[in-house]
Structure 1
Amino acid sequence: MKRDPFFVHEYLRMFSLPDQDGQTTLQLDQTTRCDTLCINDDEYCRYTNEFWTARQRQASKLHEISYRACFKPQLPRFFISLLTEPGERVYDPFTGRGTTPLEAALLGRQIISNDINPLSRILTEPRLFLPVYEEIKARLYAIPDNPEETSEIDLSMFYHPDTLRTLCSIRGYLLDREKRGELDRTDAWIRMVATNRLSGHSPGFFSVYTLPPNQAVSPERQITINRDRNQIPPYRDVREIILKKSRSLLQGIDQKQRENLIRAADSSLFITGDARRTPEIPDNTVSLTVTSPPFLDIVQYATDNWLRCWFNGLDAEEIGKQITITRKLADWEAVMGEVFRELFRITRPGGYVAFEVGEVRNGSVRLDEHVIPLGITAGFTCTAVIINQQDFTKTANIWGVNNMSVGTNTNRIVLFFKNPE
């Protein structure tokens, strides 16, 4: 059986990263380092290697939606390809920008997506329903600039007046369509792309230069940035920026992937709620969960997304109250313990959970060592701890996330297995 834990152990132990042509050439620096992790007098296999890399196989352009604290598509692809077959159900209880469900859909799996932040569904679901470029263009240019559509908050530090006028007109159109229940797939695509282009550090975004596009700084902070850089918001052509990003996202998707996306969309389940309670998901139906939970208080998800919430008519403060941001490790463990109990209920016998965590607080807290007892208490067995060697990206360095700083130092995935009944 492909999913048998013994097979998984052998696969990880003998793993060698394929090259660009898909050929596996065993090199000394690619061999897996095997050791054991001892927790509460029990030992667990730990495998360290470069199991996936951005150099291995170019991820679909559809993934190129910025979001704070998201993993690369190669991570869920590794586990989806190894542990599931086409048509099986893959789940992410903390979906974020949608990396796991989108990659699962591209690979021909059924998907379930959950996130307590409604922005997650806004960013994820439209990428299952690919519109025709000409339809996007026609819809955008059918929305007139309406001088009566204005922002209820001052955004002049981010946008040129003409840019803001167009942005508010598109926002008003989308909110009205949603209110009347008339928001269609083309509208949803435009909303998704516009949400992603609100602020950033290049002319490809609507705003003046600001920090990387996975976070919106406060208006006060942006005023300081403008003063320090001696800049004023330039005019940006909102419609053309949306069209340019749409062309990029739709690039290189083959017919097989399009068919997979359609099938996944037809059977998809999107939930906006607490991962500890998902009654919408039947018992014993999920073959694989691949997820990365909120890490203590490292990332302020609601605060980072206040501008995106404004554009979509959402209350960022209210959303923030519902997101698990804890400073105390014991509080985080209590919440994750409940999540694991729910995951055990919905995972089918013989199914897996790949739970990605990392080192936080200057490496003093290794969350994998805290996660293992939580999964076992819920009823799972711990198959292995998988550590993926990686280099930090430019964005991570901008944020001060490196091997001697806050944030995660490595991809550490605890792989759990639900024994057959």
Structure 2
Amino acid sequence: MSSRGRKATQALSSLAEFLRGFDGFGAQTVEYVEDGVSHFVNEFWTAGQRQAHALHEVSYRACFKPQLPEFFVSRLTAPGEKVYDPFMGRGTTVLQAALQGRAPVGNDVNPLSVLLVRPRLRPPSIEAVQERLSAIDWNCVGVERKDLLAFYHPETLRQICALRRWLLAHAPLGGEPDPADDWIRMVAINRLTGHSPGFFSVYTMPPNQAVSVEAQLKINARRKQTPPVRDVAALIVKKSQALLSEGAPPAHPAPLLITGDAAKAASIADGSVRLIVTSPPFLDIVQYAADNWLRNWFAGIDTSAVRISTHRSEAAWADMVRDCFIDFARVVAPGGHVAFEVGEVRGGRIALERLVWQAVEGLPFEKPLVLINAQKFTKTSHCWGVANNAKGTNSNRVLIFRRR
């Protein structure tokens, strides 16, 4: 066995020993074996265990905490090695990799993801943001999408439309925009709707999604509210100051961010990735395209052209997983690892981890470990009455595979 192979074997073995000995938050790790696969249960990370970097604080539907990728990046990679998320969403894994001096690699089928991730890997100064905001032509005559007055005061919507037109002209999709324009678009996308005066909208759903216009009209009627005037530029500056409060990521290798099918990441070189940390779409639980309709509109993305698959059967979901792992076997170096988070769905009646390890059988991966980060928290669905999240995750259930 090569020295690299011995090191990788030791890494997974050392991780298993660490999990066995973990004594965190007043609890000993519980270990059990199911179908020959070792499971480790404890609260391995919480929101209070380590304060996440301020740059992570952008909202997105169904994202995991930064402590999850940090846990695996710290233990299974070295500085400079590539860390990849094929379903990057808001970019938690990609940004955390950069914050830890690794080479960030990310992919998502929705082009919105690149717009959310890229600016935080190369953030401008707050002075550059303010200077660019002062240069924008805010004199927009008329507005687009008058139905959006369900969310916004006419003056606020006028400002949003003016900013949108500026960005579409100066930072078109598919290019490499100026970092200040890139950043302003990212912040604006995250301030479109929310439940406090820090957002452009009247009180609405949580900031990780947008309800339909019809649903917002009902919220307005029920709460007897009308959209207030918001200062779009001022809110962008305020959020930028919060995000930049801890500075930019340290020096790290250049990122690779792509848009496409997670099972066909051809632009990632064979054997170049040391670690994958990701979470795939869960069966038919979250409607990502529907949740992001307003963000996609602002960014100039045609939502109907974003082919986000919804897997309504266990067999279809398992087929998707296998297709992805076929490509993972190509891009992950021998001795590298995949940390595949599957959560808990349908009240635990479906064991997604079992579907995963069955789907991966026959591919060049060792039998996995399963880490269950058991943590009690209040679901968004309970707080907001969101039917779209009624069957959401109760715990982080992560399969850790080693590439042979």
- Fold equivalence (TM over 0.5): yes
- Which position in structure 1 is the counterpart of 2:249? 258
Separation in structure 2 between the aligned mates of residue 276 and residue 6 of structure 1, nearest angstrom? 28
- Which position in structure 2 is the counterpart of 1:23? none
- Which position in structure 2 is the counterpart of 1:337? 322
- Which position in structure 2 is the counterpart of 1:289? 276
Separation in structure 2 between the aligned mates of residue 399 and residue 210 of structure 1, nearest angstrom? 10
Structure 1 residues 32-88: Cα deviation after superposition (integer angstroms, max 9, x where no partner): 1011011xxxx0111001111111110001001000100000000000001111111
Q: How does 1:136-151 map to 2 (within 5 A)?
A: 136-148=129-141, 150-151=143-144
Q: Tell me: CA distance 1:57–1:138, structure 2 relative to 1, closer, same or farther (3 Å).
A: same
Structure 1 residues 113-143: Cα deviation after superposition (integer angstroms, max 9, x where no partner): 0000001000001001111101101111211
CA RMSD of aligned residues (A): 1.9
Deviation at 1:192, TM superposition (A): 0.2
**TM-score normalized by the length of structure 1:** 0.90
Pick one of 150, 164, 168 that aligns with 1:171.
164
- Which position in structure 2 is the counterpart of 1:13? 20
- Which position in structure 2 is the counterpart of 1:20? none
Structure 1 residues 84-108: Cα deviation after superposition (integer angstroms, max 9, x where no partner): 1111100000000000000010000
Letter of the 2:30 counterpart:
R
- Which position in structure 2 is the counterpart of 1:375? 360
Pick one of 95, 99, 103 that aligns with 2:88.
95
- Which position in structure 1 is the counterpart of 2:256? 269
- Which position in structure 2 is the counterpart of 1:364? 349
Contact kept in structure 2, 1:292 and 1:355, CA below 8 Å:
yes
Deviation at 1:179, TM superposition (A): 4.0
Separation in structure 2 between the aligned mates of residue 298 and residue 215 of structure 1, nearest angstrom? 14
Separation in structure 2 between the aligned mates of residue 248 and residue 182 of structure 1, nearest angstrom? 25
Separation in structure 2 between the aligned mates of residue 359 and residue 218 of structure 1, nearest angstrom? 27
Contact kept in structure 1, 2:264 and 2:327, CA below 8 Å:
yes
Contact kept in structure 1, 2:41 and 2:371, CA below 8 Å:
yes
- Which position in structure 1 is the counterpart of 2:3? none
Pick one of 366, 370, 380 that aligns with 1:385.
370
Contact kept in structure 2, 1:92 and 1:114, CA below 8 Å:
yes
Letter of the 2:92 counterpart:
T
Contact kept in structure 2, 1:174 and 1:183, CA below 8 Å:
no
Q: How does 1:16-415 map to 2 (within 5 A)?
A: 16-17=23-24, 29-38=26-35, 43-148=36-141, 150-179=143-172, 183-253=177-247, 258-260=249-251, 263-264=252-253, 267-319=254-306, 322-393=307-378, 395=380, 397-399=382-384, 406-415=391-400
Q: Tell me: CA distance 1:405–1:238, structure 2 relative to 1, closer, same or farther (3 Å).
A: closer
Deviation at 1:297, TM superposition (A): 0.9
Separation in structure 2 between the aligned mates of residue 183 and residue 288 of structure 1, nearest angstrom? 29
Letter of the 1:344 counterpart:
A
Q: Tell me: CA distance 1:166–1:57, structure 2 relative to 1, closer, same or farther (3 Å).
A: same
Deviation at 1:376, TM superposition (A): 2.8
Deviation at 1:178, TM superposition (A): 2.7
**TM-score normalized by the length of structure 2:** 0.94
Separation in structure 1 between the aligned mates of residue 172 and residue 283 of structure 2, nearest angstrom? 35
Letter of the 1:313 counterpart:
G
Contact kept in structure 2, 1:90 and 1:101, CA below 8 Å:
yes
Letter of the 2:304 counterpart:
E
Separation in structure 1 between the aligned mates of residue 99 and residue 276 of structure 2, nearest angstrom? 16
Query: Could you list the runs of 5+ residues in structure 1 that have no partner in the other structure?
Result: 18-26
Separation in structure 2 between the aligned mates of residue 86 and residue 11 of structure 1, nearest angstrom? 21
Deviation at 1:153, TM superposition (A): 5.0
Contact kept in structure 2, 1:400 and 1:406, CA below 8 Å:
no
Moved over 6 A (4+): none
Deviation at 1:151, TM superposition (A): 1.1
Deviation at 1:375, TM superposition (A): 2.2
Q: Tell me: CA distance 1:401–1:288, structure 2 relative to 1, closer, same or farther (3 Å).
A: farther
- Which position in structure 2 is the counterpart of 1:21? none
Contact kept in structure 1, 2:376 and 2:394, CA below 8 Å:
no
Three-state SS of the structure 1 residue aligned to 2:88 is coil
Deviation at 1:313, TM superposition (A): 0.7
Letter of the 2:31 counterpart:
C
Contact kept in structure 2, 1:401 and 1:407, CA below 8 Å:
no
Deviation at 1:394, TM superposition (A): 6.0
Three-state SS of the structure 2 residue aligned to 1:365 is coil
Matched residue count:
395
Deviation at 1:355, TM superposition (A): 0.2
Structure 1 residues 323-346: Cα deviation after superposition (integer angstroms, max 9, x where no partner): 121111111111111001000111
Letter of the 2:235 counterpart:
I
Identity %: 51
Three-state SS of the structure 1 residue aligned to 2:23 is coil
